Structure 1
Amino acid sequence: MMKMKTITVAFIASALAASSAAADGSKLDKKAILKQHDLTQANKALVLKAYQELFGDHDLTALDRYWTANYIQHNPTMTDGRDSVRQLLEKMGITHWPKQKVEFKRVIAEGDLVMTEVVQPKTDATPETAIVDMFRVENGKIAEHWDVIQAVPADAVNKRSMY
């Protein structure tokens, strides 16, 4: 993790040093670029922590810490608001599931948007599932969410992993 952060910071620093003007001839605002980078990293860390606490540790109080009360939900099977998430997870019995370390396959972040790809392990009742979530962060809390959920087929036509 530290190596990735070092590489990211080094890349930004070299990009800033290599060019003192934007393509349109205007001056680059180095402080704005670094501020945007810092915001992106903070939002990424927030989403990863929130995701682990809610979906790995099964701590429903994470909703109060990391989600806005009027959180906007784009999943068509759910309504808006963090209480909708809480009610669904309670109905599913998540607090009785064994804790697990969330396996993040990919994390992409830019500004206020953070996208994750995770694996939901196979259970007796469900197949292994690939889940891609996109979160919008506002004022240090998750304010909006989109997702795509796909079961991993047992008889895939090609042998490449979905991850």
Structure 2
Amino acid sequence: METNNNSRKEKAVDFLKLVASGSVREGFAQYISDDFTHHNPFFKGDAESIMLAMEENAEQNPDKVFNVKLALEEGDHVAVHSHVKQNAEDLGAAVVHIFRFEGDVVVELWDLGQAVPAESLNKNGMF
């Protein structure tokens, strides 16, 4: 497994950019541990199932737009808040990915999302 000297925050953001751009296997090879688990309730908790789902999504949405709004690092945890759109016209969703690292690799992942509504009572917007 290839590693580099970037911060964990930079590694998490790079992983997300790779998978959003369709380079899913590259992202997994570079940043995901062999002992990886995740907590998305719609897929089994292993690396293979989430990787295949990410590949399928990338194939279905080749024009995905991924913009990081904030990334925070504390100890072995990184949180990345982003705006993900399946294409340029899509309103998208606010998504938070929480990573737990061991050394240079991700061993655990949580993801939370909230769709961007067409109209909002909140004048501040979601971002």
**Global fold match (TM > 0.5):** yes
Q: 1:90 to 1:122 in 2, by over 3 A?
A: closer
1:65 counterpart (27, 30, 53): 30
* TM-score, length basis structure 2: 0.81
Which of structures 1 and 2 has the bigger CA Rg?
A: 1
CA distance in 1: counterparts of 2:108 and 2:120, whole angstroms: 33
* TM-score, length basis structure 1: 0.65
Q: Which runs of 5+ in 2 are unaligned?
A: none
What residue in structure 1 maps to residue 62 of structure 2? 97
CA contact (8 A) 1:152 1:162 kept: yes
CA contact (8 A) 1:69 1:83 kept: no
CA contact (8 A) 1:58 1:95 kept: no
Residues 19-44 of structure 1 show CA distances to partners (whole Å, capped at 9, x for unaligned) of xxxxxxxxxxxxxxxxxxxx9x7211
**Secondary structure of 2:7 counterpart:** helix
More strand by share: 2
**Please, what is the CA RMSD of the aligned residues?**
2.5
State the shift of 1:91 in Å.
Answer: 2.6
- Between the two proteins, what is the percent identity of the paired residues? 24
Structure 1 residue runs of 4+, over 6 Å off? none
Does residue 44 of the first structure (1) align with residue 37 of the second (2)? no
**Secondary structure of 2:37 counterpart:** strand
CA distance in 1: counterparts of 2:106 and 2:93, whole angstroms: 23
Larger relative contact order (C-alpha < 8 A, sep ≥ 6)? 2
More helix by share: 1
